[in-house]
Structure 1
Amino acid sequence: MTIDIPFIWTAFKEIIKSIPITLILTLVPLAVGFLIGLAVAQVRIYKIRFLHQAANGYVSFFRGTPIIMHIMVIYYGIPLFIDQVSSKFDLNIQTNKIPIILFVLIALSLAAGAYLSEIIRSGIISVSTGQLEAAYSVGMTKFQAMFRIVLPQALAQSIPNFTNLVVGFLHTSSIAFLVSEKELTGAANIVASTNLKFLEAFIAAGIIYWGLTVMVEGISFLLEKRVTSYSRGGVS
């Protein structure tokens, strides 16, 4: 067997068209997950009554089970639940018209929230308690101290962890092709199936993934450099 080098370029041009859907499957869950993670982290840090145990269970479940399972359970489970509710109350909701990508985004967002809650929580814990005491001494409330003093420092210190998670979810988005969502891996599979040149197609897809990962790492490096310069009182 020989590698068809020209076909790698042909596949590359076709697969690259799926970058937008891949970025949606990566960035939207991370944005939604950040909000979930921030809320869950606060609940766990302050041990809010009743919610604390639920938050621990949520994080434990979604970090302790594969993301592919989350996608499959939500992909098959939510339509089944909606159909039963619709049938019971005569709502006439047709689940087959709900875009598949919505189920994938829900699953990925819930998983991202669990991972981000741990990143945010560890970042908050790493900030010196003395800074909180100083904030309280000048009349700040807990809310003000958290969002004006602690959280900015916690997020800055967590940039490497955020970067790892972004890269991880960029690669995890490839699971979506199992439910017929045409992201990079799905596009590579479709291109390859037309003439059985799977090696060439997945080499092209790998190059694209690598390029996107390098871009994420580059952005992370610039952010870290700017944050470090700012914390030292310099100018980036």
Structure 2
Amino acid sequence: MNFDVNFALENFWQAVAGIPNTLLVTFVAFMIGFPIAFFIAQVRIKNLPVLSQIAGIYISFVRGTPVVVQIFLVYNIALAYHFNPLYAAFFVFAVNCSATYSEMWKSSLSSVGKGQLEAAHSSGLTTFQAYIHIIIPQSLSVAFPSLCSSTLTMLKNTSLVFIMSVQDITAKAKIAAGLQYKYIEGYLDIFIVYLIVCIILQGIFNVLEKKLSAHKLIDEKKKNKLLGKGLTA
């Protein structure tokens, strides 16, 4: 079988047309899963009775089962109850995001230490103010590399949402390739498009990480100022 260059070039743009849905699933999953992950991490750090055990089981269940199996399970439930497959995709990846990022939050929040919160309280800050101005910024600074890596992994895992009939990068290219039985060209297009998207996002993350590093000194001064003078509630 000869490699069809013309078809590969044409099908490349079919794959590109699926980028919006791929990014949409990634973005929505992040926006839902990230704050839930913070709550789960807090429950585990504080070791709240019952809730901490439930959180541990939840994380073990999500991280201990293949994403593709979760997709098949949720997709078939969605079909049975006539749910939009796109919403089912949001759910699956938001759940995975919350479990993965909760470990990141737990590690980064623990690295800040209880002394920071106690110092904030002694200077007149409320717990909410301490978290907004001191705890969370420092935790995000520590967790940012892991956050970027996990987000890119989630983006690549969204290549499985074609199973749920979501018209993402994989689905667009695979359908067009299937019509002419040119799967090598189709999968190569998928490979290239994901590679380009990931390289662009990695570049954006690198720029953000540099900016974050540049602002660390400023944030440290701000923290010292807040701890020194306190804030009015």
Structures share fold, TM-score greater than 0.5: yes
Quick one: distance in 2 between partners of 1:14 and 1:119? 36
CA distance change for structure 1 residues 49 and 128 in 2, over 3 Å: closer, same or farther?
closer
Identity %: 32
Counterparts of residues 1-236 of structure 1 (less than 5 Å): 1-77=1-77, 95-96=81-82, 98-233=83-218
How many angstroms does 1:130 deviate by? 3.3
| Code of the aligned partner of 1:54 | I
Could you tell me which amino acid in structure 1 is paired with residue 132 of structure 2?
A: F
5+ residue gaps, structure 2, are: 220-233
* Runs of 5+ unmatched residues, structure 1: 81-94
> Taking structure 1 as the reference length, what is the TM-score of the superposition?
0.87
Q: C-alpha separation between the residues in 1 aligned to 2:137 and 2:14? A: 41
Query: 1:76 offset after TM fit, Å?
Result: 2.4
1:86 aligned residue: none
**How far off is 1:40 after superposition?**
0.7
Query: Tell me, what secondary structure is at the counterpart of 2:215?
Result: helix
Moved more, 182-191 or 124-133: 124-133
The alpha-carbon deviation at position 208 of structure 1 amounts to 0.9
8 Å contact from structure 2 (residues 104, 146) kept in 1: yes
User: For 1:161-183, what per-residue CA distance to the aligned partner results, in whole angstroms no more than 9, with x for missing partners?
Assistant: 11111111111111111122221
* RMSD over aligned Cα atoms: 1.7
**Cα deviation digits, residues 89-136 of structure 1 (max 9, x gap):** xxxxxx33x211111211111111000111111111111443223212
In structure 2, distance between residues paired with 1:75 and 1:36: 22
Q: TM-score, normalised by structure 2?
A: 0.88
Distance in 2 (CA, whole Å) between partners of 1:226 and 1:211 is 23
Post-superposition offset of 1:143 = 3.1
Q: Deviations over 1:168-214 (max 9, x none)?
A: 11111111111222211111210111111111111111111011101
* Pair 78,43 (structure 1): closer, same or farther in 2 beyond 3 Å: farther
- In the alignment, the residues of structure 1 paired with residue 217 and residue 190 of structure 2 have an alpha-carbon distance, to the nearest angstrom, of 41
CA separation in 2, counterparts of 1:117 and 1:124? 10
- Quick one: distance in 1 between partners of 2:68 and 2:201? 23
Deviating runs (4+, > 4 A) in structure 1? Answer: none
